[in-house]
Structure 1
Amino acid sequence: MTSALPDFLLEPLVRAALTEDLAPMGDATTRAVIPAGTRYAARLNAREPGVVSGMQIAALAFRLVDPALKVTTHVPDGSPITPGQTLMEIEGDAAAILMGERVALNFAGRLSGIATLTAAFVAETAGTKARITCTRKTTPGLRMVEKAAVAHGGGSNHRYGLSDAILIKDNHIAAAGGIRPVLEAAKAARSHMMRVELEVDSLAQLEEALAIGGADVILLDNMDTPTLTRAVEITAGRVVLEASGNMRLARIAEVAATGVDYISVGALTHSASTLDLGLDF
């Protein structure tokens, strides 16, 4: 489990989604067919197994439509769920429940899909020290909640954005003139609180980086499994190693067994399927 984010950080996302759905004239269908003052109770249910995420943001969606709604969350974010399980109950004005339904389900289904996929990747690392981590390949505007969903699935978070760590990739190396110039520049520029990660795509680059020093983490990009194993041997624990590129679920167990510390997987956020959740009156 992870600590919940403060609601005030989530509110702008939820308000934007509700505005997109309800502006400019509200819910025409509900206004036409549901008598004013009708009260009802609804249940948000799981329709397939997985790991839930997005309960906090779903509850917020209903409360922003109508603060008088009684929202009871039965299953906290990060919990395994089974088909038919009731995750949340919402009681109060029927129109308000219907207006918040789609936004709540869109967030909860999307984030639960990410948490579920992450949990599947994490399961493949059992018995190793490797940890599964996400990347910056997130839906624009939703990085905060998608990275939270990765954590709900048992994964780790990579850097949040461009400002909180130095990650030197192949284009930086090419533009700066080589590994030595970029590492020396990074060492000179970073604060004592900032880590430096360097991407390499060959054992020769790895050995050069280790000889120069200055990298806290080395990213082993698009290497096959035997090369990853050799990279771990060469490094001998001197820096943290992250394997990245072409990290399919079927390959994770063998990559984890090489001894790398982290395996970064863009698919956690860019290719996760939405988990099937439904709201039933």
Structure 2
Amino acid sequence: MDEIKENPRAWKWLSDIDSKHWSRHKFSTNAKTDLVVNNISESYNAWILEAREEPMCTMMEHNRTKLMESISIKRDGAERDTWVIPPNYKKRLELEKKFASIFKVVCAGRGIWQVTCKDSQYVVDLDSRKCGYYKWDVTGVPCCHAIAAIHQFKHKPEDYISPYFTREKNIAAYEGMIMPIPDKTQWLKTDFHEVDPPLYHAQPGRLRKKRVKAQREPHVPERASKKASIRCSNYHTYGHNVKGCGLPIRPDWEARKGAKFTRHVSTSISRWISAKAANKSNSSRIKE
């Protein structure tokens, strides 16, 4: 944060956004995640990419079919799984266990513990599943302070992980299903007037297919459609042309520019004289 404060504009831009959207210490404890990225939306956007250019009804039917198939596959996979805790959360728990042995733990009673390490000291409440470090509250996975207290209490850390990360909850998440829909020839006929689609007005310019990038979003050369790089003809370096070159213009390049301008002027004058003569010749023929 101190590095961000050194840039006043960046700090003002960040301060205008509610800290619960970007600071982990203000995250809600309901979601049980500490991620601050939008990978889920980006993955879903790439997943439906082929349907984005289809008409509205066709696009909705395309996405509905894909979701119906995906949920069915996830449901079958969840029922076949044998793990008690998801493997990725199991790894996080094992990583926290490695740091739990360095803490000094003292019980205050009724499931409340004091966990100390050097100058740091936190309060752990095993009954409420809370820690003063706040990591356990946000992620749902016991932190190293909580694990130190759990070990002292002769319990297993796996029993204190959030129930959201159990096999039963994973199966329950995919219990619902999206029902298949027959085609429009089998739809129920009604006496209401048919709803016409809105009038289409072609907008000027080429249709935009790429998403609008956010302000100050970094440029990724690997994703750029045009791979060719600009080469400066002044000192033959890449990334800019001669107009954007910060180095002094070479003497031979100045001579080349002058010669090019002279050739351009002389060519233009010669064309003008030839056109003048041709017009004069055509005029004389018409008079005859």
| TM-score using structure 1 length | 0.24
Structure with higher Rg: it is 2
Determine which structure has greater relative contact order: mean sequence separation of CA pairs < 8 Å that are 6+ residues apart, divided by chain length. Answer: 1
More helix by share: 2
| TM-score using structure 2 length | 0.23
More strand by share: 1
